[in-house]
Amino acid sequence: MPERRTVALVTLGCARNEVDSEELAGRLAADGWELVEEAADADVAVVNTCGFVEAAKKDSVDALLEANDLKDHGRTQAVVAVGCMAERYGKELAEALPEADGVLGFDDYADISDRLQTILNGGIHASHTPRDRRKLLPLSPAERQEATDVALPGHGDIAPAPEDLPEGIAPVSGPRAPLRRRLGTSPVASVKLASGCDRRCSFCAIPSFRGSFISRRPSDVLGETRWLAEQGVKEVMLVSENNTSYGKDLGDIRLLETLLPELAEVDGIERVRVSYLQPAEMRPGLIDVLTSTPKIAPYFDLSFQHSAPGVLRAMRRFGDTERFLELLGTIRGKAPQAGVRSNFIVGFPGETEADFAELESFLTGARLDAIGIFGYSDEDGTEAVSYDSKLDADVIAERLEHLSRLAEELTAQRAEERLGETLEVLVESVDGEDGAVGRAAHQAPETDGQVVFTSDEGLVPGRIVVAKAVATEGVDLVAECLEGAAT
């Protein structure tokens, strides 16, 4: 009988990382590893790191150190770093953090089982030297689909799946479809629509370690969604670095408008949500599909980042306050209850007091449901690192604090505007002490608010109910189920 090998995956960062972790889990389970929830119960703790901004990198390092502490008084024998931070820094991270027994890049994912076994046995797998992953795929988007030798987390690879997969592992449905094993029981799951990004925002390093943009084929996205529905998933959230570019490398930039209705028709799926939309790439047809298709959430995760035109140009982005407000007006003209969220950077090099005031004015008029505010920080390898007119750290901190307070007030006001609305709420958890909690169509998991029910009678996770918003708790809504309105 084979020796029992246990592994735990600790995931930090965004929903894209969550999908990558479930791909790793699928590969490991298919090769006989036993997946456990807690790192303390595992022979190997795999930390899927985030390398986006300094705060996220610090959280990743802290998670690795915390897992390393388990080696002194628990079952854990090895701690391995994977994910964006591991890919971005490779050998540098390994040298700076000797507590990690291995630092694995994306190219190691296809052989993750062998890599972990080597490390568990006391061997050493050399950490990779980071490289610009944008150069791995052809410059022409149309030629990228043929580059099957490039590792694309969440896309799988060209190796065939084992013939007899353990129960609960997604089968391969195409040449780049991954093995996947769910790591939780939530009725919500993310589906990767694409990887990488062709935009060159001056503050962002993601394209350098995630690579150029490449879409997954619609058949693979549909196949994975059907499998998730069989696992009890009721809502799928489409994720990538830029969903509005989906299909451009497949010869049809409007492919998302075609795919969304097909996903909505998958048996068992009650809601489809699209995240990560670029305002400059929003098309009238896409807005129409998102606001009028049954089971497609009228939800717009728009990456504004700022609204002052001078700052946006320095960021290598497009738009301005007027255009952004017009876009929001168009969306709400078609779907008044549509949900909108966005992130913003304050203190970008050269941001004047007038620029900051314009951003503040935009937020006040935009009526966003959720707002993320970040203070600018230099990121290795980005164009903005070389910019002059850097703001003092105390100025950035002051503006960050001011706008964060304003954002909290504005999103609470937006929640109050929804009082009396009839909501379709997906019940996500029912706890005897905390009651029942769910999310309406305008609320994405993790990043936005939630709906707290006045009673949990008859509610079970995964059920869609019709409810009325009767009160607010900050950005959260309190709602009561309407009699006979369960769906």
Is residue 201 part of an annotated ligand binding site? yes
75, 414, 466, 475, 485 from 453: Cα distances, Å: 40, 19, 11, 14, 14
Give the contacts of 193 (CB within 8 A, at least 6 positions apart).
215, 216, 221, 238, 239, 240, 243, 246, 256
Rounded Cα gap, residues 114 and 24, in angstroms: 12
3-state SS string over the chain? Answer: CCCCCEEEEEECCCHHHHHHHHHHHHHHHHCCCEECCCHHHCCEEEEEECCCCHHHHHHHHHHHHHHHHHHHCCCCCEEEEEEHHHHHHCHHHHHHCCCCCEECCHHHHHHHHHHHHHHHCCCCCCCCCCCCHHHCCCCCHHHHHHCCCCCECCCECCCCCCCCCCCCECCCCCCCCCCCECCCCCCEEEEECEECCCCCCCCCCHHHHHCCCEECCHHHHHHHHHHHHHCCCCEEEEECCCHHHCCHHHCCCCHHHHHHHHHHCCCCCCEEEECCECHHHCCHHHHHHHHHCCCECCEEEECCECCCHHHHHHCCCCCCHHHHHHHHHHHHHHCCCCEEEEEEEECCCCCCHHHHHHHHHHHHHHCCCEEEEEECCCCCCCHHHHCCCCCCHHHHHHHHHHHHHHHHHHHHHHHHHCCCCEEEEEEEEEECCCEEEEECCCCCCCCCCCEEECCCCCCCCCCEEEEEEEEEECCEEEEEEEEEEEC
Nearest Cα to 161, choosing from 29, 5, 48? 29
Backbone angles phi, psi at 47, to 5 degrees: -105, 115
Backbone angles phi, psi at 270, to 5 degrees: -105, -20
Is residue 481 part of an annotated ligand binding site? no
CA quadruple 243, 244, 249, 251: dihedral sign: positive
Q: Per the annotation, where are the binding residues for [4Fe-4S] cluster?
A: 14, 50, 84, 197, 201, 204
Going by the annotation, the residues of the binding site are: 14, 50, 84, 197, 201, 204
